[in-house]
Amino acid sequence: MEAIDGLENDWSQIVDEEGNQIGTVGHHFKLSRAFNKEEMDHIKRDGTCIACHKEIPKASLAVSLLHHVAEYSGQLPKTTNQHFGLVNKIVLTSAWGQVLLALGGMLVGALVVGGFGYRKWKPKSQP
């Protein structure tokens, strides 16, 4: 974006990183104001990508395998929307995997407990 001649202030920021106000927000809307430091920290996303990308492509055998398959099959995301779609798919797959694992664990636990209960209370056969 080109600079505007004669503009004395930098209007790209209203509040600096520490939450100090360096500009004003128009009073066209009731209660309009700049974000405070707490709000800025809440919406700031610096460093969130590293949570996933620290594993790509060499830190985990499973991630490395999937990365190389996607790379050689031309399925690595090339646009922001493709990346968002991949992240969404990963989150949903992980969530459903954890739910199914928990349900499976409860089912196995119920079968084990039920099996012991049945053995203890089943009628003994007479010889």
Same domain, 3 and 39: yes
Same domain, 59 and 92: no
Same domain, 39 and 65: no
Same domain, 113 and 93: yes
Domain that holds residue 70: 47-76
Same domain, 86 and 127: yes
Query: Are the CB atoms for 37 and 26 separated by under 8 Å?
Result: no
Same domain, 70 and 83: no
Pairwise CA distance, residues 113 & 107, whole Å: 10
pLDDT of the residue at 60: 85
As a whole-number percent, the residues of the chain with pLDDT over 90 amount to: 21
As a whole-number percent, the residues of the chain with pLDDT over 70 amount to: 71
| Total-model pTM | 0.52
Query: Are the CB atoms for 67 and 86 separated by under 8 Å?
Result: no
pLDDT of the residue at 55: 76
Same domain, 29 and 15: yes
3-state SS, residue 97: helix
Split into its structural domains, the chain has a count of: 3
- Alpha helical stretches, state H, 1-127: 37-43, 50-53, 61-72, 80-121
Same domain, 88 and 109: yes
Q: Encode pLDDT of 57-98 as tens digits.
A: 677 888 888 888 989 999 889 998 999 998 899 899 999 999
Tokens representing 99?
């739910």
